[in-house]
Amino acid sequence: MKKIADELMQAGIEKVWTDEPLANHTTWRIGGPADLLIQPKDKASLQKALQIIHRHEIPWSVIGRGSNLLVRDRGIRGAVLKVAEGLSHCEFKGEEVCVGAGYSMIRLAVETGKMGLTGMEFAGGIPGTVGGAVYMNAGAHGSDLSRILIDAEILFENGESKVLSNEELSFSYRTSLLQKQKGIVLEARFQLRTGDSKEISATLAANKERRRATQPLQMPSCGSVFRNPPNDHAGRLIEAAGLKGYRIGGAQVSEKHSNFIVNCGGATAADVLTLINHVRSTILEKNGIDLHSEVLVVGEG
* Active-site residue list: 174, 224, 294
Euclidean distance between CA atoms 133 and 129, whole angstroms:
6
Euclidean distance between CA atoms 185 and 100, whole angstroms:
8
**Residue 279, CB-side half-sphere exposure with 13 Å CA sphere:** 33
- DSSP character for 82? E
Query: CA gyration radius for the chain?
Result: 19
Which residues, including other chains, have CB under 8 Å from residue 206's CB and lie 6 or more apart?
Answer: none
DSSP string, 256-272: S-TT-EEE-SS--HHHH
- Residue 88: what are its φ and ψ, rounded to 5°? -130, 40
Cβ contact 254:221 at 8 Å: yes
Q: Where are the beta strands (DSSP E) in the chain?
A: 15-21, 33-39, 60-63, 69-71, 76-82, 90-93, 96-100, 117-118, 139-140, 143-144, 149-156, 161-165, 183-191, 193-194, 247-248, 251-253, 261-263, 296-298
Q: Kindly list the distances between the CA atom of residue 5 and the CA atoms of 2, 11, 123, 148, 237, in Å, as whole numbers in the listed order.
A: 5, 10, 36, 39, 47
